[in-house]
Amino acid sequence: MPEFALPLIAGFLVGLVVMGLAIGITLRLRRRTAAAILDTARSESQSLLADARREAETIRNSSVVEGKMEALRLREELEGELKRRRDEVDRTARRAEESERNLQRRSEQLDRREKDLSAKERALAEEDGRLKERSDEIGALVREQRTRLERVAGLTAEDARRELLQR
């Protein structure tokens, strides 16, 4: 073997060893890099997942809060409407009570007037009876006086009238 071949073979073997080492180191570095990338990807995915969960929780909480606010708004609106209706019912009841009191007063006034009218009618009927009696008495007295005059004058009322008309 030529002399120059030994250093060449040794150089070649050293190159092969260095190359093997380089390939091994490169593979190892790639594995570490891949593991680091994989760890980073896992970490980022977990971080993204945690962020997504927090955001979903925030959205859910926000939706719950919005739902509660909407329910509260609707409740207040319904309570306001209920209060307005109760107030209207109260006003209507007060008007009805006032009308009832007014009707009661009018009824009492009419009852009093009716009693007064009945009392006046009785008084007028009694007065009418007394006046009729008085009229009858006066009529009887006039008839009696006429009869006396006719006796004293010797003429009847008809005869006296004729005689007066002739003169």
Q: What is the pLDDT of residues 132-163, one digit of tens each?
A: 999 999 999 988 887 877 776 777 778 777 87
The model's pTM is: 0.41
C-alpha distances (whole Å) from 156 to each of 18, 149, 151, 160, 167 are 189, 9, 8, 6, 17
Q: How many CA atoms lie within 13 A of 125 on its CB side?
A: 6
C-alpha distances (whole Å) from 18 to each of 21, 25, 33 are 5, 10, 21
Q: How far apart are CA 106 and CA 114, in angstroms?
A: 12
Q: What is the pLDDT of residues 69-83, one digit of tens each?
A: 999 999 999 999 999
Across 7-21, 68-82, 115-129, 146-160, least confident range: 146-160
pLDDT-derived band at 63 (thresholds 50, 70, 90) equals: confident
